[in-house]
Amino acid sequence: MPLLFKKVKELRNFLKSKRCEGKEVGFVPTMGYLHEGHAELIKLARMQNDVVVVSIFVNPTQFGEGEDYDRYPRDLERDLELCERLGVDVVFAPDEKEMYPAGYRTRVCVGELGKVLEGAFRPGHFDGVATVVVKLFNIVQPDRAYFGEKDYQQLKIIQQVVQDLNVPVEIVPVPVVREKDGLAYSSRNVYLKPEERESARAIYRSFLLAEKMIKAGERDAERIKQAMKAFIERHPHVKAVDYVEITDENLKPKKRVEKGDRILVAVRVGNARLIDNWKVEA
């Protein structure tokens, strides 16, 4: 079993001794309820580092009012078993008081990049993400940290924060991991009822539709976005398409689509709000 630490001090003491031995530390921050997507990040961290630390913390400051903080799935026992199978050395699972003790005040403010796309629907979300990630970086002081492209905007924001605040860590991106049917792995997929699953799959299929249009010569972003939106909305359990956007790799909206651009989507299906994105290949 991996070592389990719940206190910052204990984790720091352990990692200090490892660093003294010249060991390199790889870090995978998560909110737990681990799945194959997380596993890819952990496997890469395992290959590239001497010590692998996984954090499991459902961070309250990145959830807005009325969001799913309370019902977010949690299963530490199962997570520890998966971490053991993947050769994780340390799991850091602090409680809320350990991360935000009484009197806690400071918040990282990420600016414009945090106000578009997801940020427009979840005000303050990325400030909460940046705050907890900077805290975790300061606690773990990793050489490398692993982030999934599944949360593409989050990845770009963390890269920006690390650059702006001179955080001495290498950010390693990992491509989206999908289930056999194309749905991106997410802890939130447990919210989907069996009959909603096919509607959730429409997101992936809308990326294939976009790829097909682009391959056939369509380069107009608006037309591609409209077609994707209409396609997704046709599915019975889709409550809303929050956005379909096409941007360059730095999240700047595009009018004409090129290879390497990103298509980003957020859709509400049943009780789940799903996000996904796709790198244009054609």
Q: Which residues are catalytic?
A: 38
Rounded-to-integer distance, Cα 106 and Cα 245, Å = 32
| Residue 46 dihedral angles phi and psi, to the nearest 5° | -60, -40
Which residue number has the CB closest to ligand AMP? 148
Rounded-to-integer distance, Cα 227 and Cα 143, Å = 43
SS3 assignment, position 238: strand
* Closer Cβ to ligand AMP, 38 or 122, answer by number: 38
Pairing state of beta strands 262-269 and 238-247? antiparallel
* Smallest distance from ligand AMP to CB 83, Å: 13
Rounded-to-integer distance, Cα 31 and Cα 11, Å = 18
**Tokens linked to 143:** 């050489």
* Smallest distance from ligand AMP to CB 41, Å: 5
In the complex, the residues that contact ligand AMP under the rule CB under 6 A are: 30-31, 37-38, 40-41, 147-148, 150-151, 174, 176-177, 184-187
Q: List the one residue out of 185, 149, 153 whose CA is nearest residue 62.
A: 153
Instruction: Specify whether the CB–CB gap between 151 and 175 falls below 8 A.
Output: no
**What is the C-alpha radius of gyration for the chain, rounded to an integer number of angstroms?**
19
* Smallest distance from ligand AMP to CB 161, Å: 14
* Closer Cβ to ligand AMP, 186 or 247, answer by number: 186
What SS3 string covers 127-171? HHHHHHHHHHHHHHCCCEEEEEHHHHHHHHHHHHHHHHCCCCCEE
* Closer Cβ to ligand AMP, 151 or 261, answer by number: 151
* Closer Cβ to ligand AMP, 141 or 159, answer by number: 159
All residues at 6 or more sequence positions from 216 whose CB lies less than 8 Å from its CB, including other chains: none
* Smallest distance from ligand AMP to CB 214, Å: 23
| Residue 184 dihedral angles phi and psi, to the nearest 5° | -65, 135
* Closer Cβ to ligand AMP, 30 or 206, answer by number: 30
* Smallest distance from ligand AMP to CB 38, Å: 5
Sheet containing 238-247: give its strands across: 238-247, 262-269, 272-279
